[in-house]
């Protein structure tokens, strides 16, 4: 299945955090880049894994790290904490799926340097099926004229869109 280029890893990640965030992000209603939570994430990305090839852009993907280990291509996503681990996992599965569609078999790793965690992520049939179903849901969300209603969850407190939704 070819994926619409408007679907990105950030949208996949946002879907598991908040559907309203998906719509806002897709409609280019962006939070302030001076948000401290965004700044910390950028700093972690810049200051960790300095020997690795970082921020590789391939089509609609912005891969944090790509490297070769023996005979394998490894794609890694760096996160500041494991709080949104499911969202990060699905974002990485999206990258693995997109690469597979381009003929590149790769392994995935979630890297959480602050917690010293390295989590292997594998694209299997079950994960692929879930990902493709969720992409259809994302397309439905972003095709709406208005954002979904705000729903408070445990991610809201640190969300860069906090003022947009709750002020």
Model confidence pLDDT, tens digit, residues 66-109: 888 888 899 999 998 889 999 999 999 999 999 999 999 999 99
Model confidence pLDDT, tens digit, residues 2-26: 567 789 999 999 999 999 999 998 9
* Residue 1 DSSP one-character state: -
* Per-domain residue ranges of the chain: 9-166
- Hey, how many other C-beta atoms are within 10 angstroms of the C-beta on 87? 18
Does the structural domain 9-166 have CATH classification 3.40.50.620?
no
Q: Is 92 exposed, middle or buried (0-12, 13-18, 19+ CB in 10 A)?
A: buried
For residue 55, which phi and psi values (nearest 5 degrees)?
45, 70
């Amino acid at each position: 299945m070819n994926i619409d280029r408007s679907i990105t890893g950030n949208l996949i990640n946002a879907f598991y955090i908040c559907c309203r965030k998906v719509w806002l992000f897709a409609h280019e209603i962006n939070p302030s880049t001076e948000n401290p939570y965004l700044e910390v994430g950028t700093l972690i990305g810049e200051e960790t894994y300095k020997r690795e090839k970082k921020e590789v852009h391939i089509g609609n993907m912005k891969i944090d790290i790509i490297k070769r280990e023996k005979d394998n291509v490894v794609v890694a996503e760096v996160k500041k904490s494991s709080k949104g681990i499911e969202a990060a996992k699905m974002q990485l599965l999206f990258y693995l799926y997109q690469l597979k569609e381009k003929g590149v078999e790769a392994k995935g790793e979630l890297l959480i340097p602050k917690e010293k965690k390295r989590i292997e992520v594998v694209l299997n049939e079950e994960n692929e099926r879930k990902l493709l179903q969720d992409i259809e849901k994302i397309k439905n969300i972003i095709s709406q004229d208005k954002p979904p209603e705000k729903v408070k969850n445990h991610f809201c407190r640190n969300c860069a869109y906090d003022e947009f939704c709750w002020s």
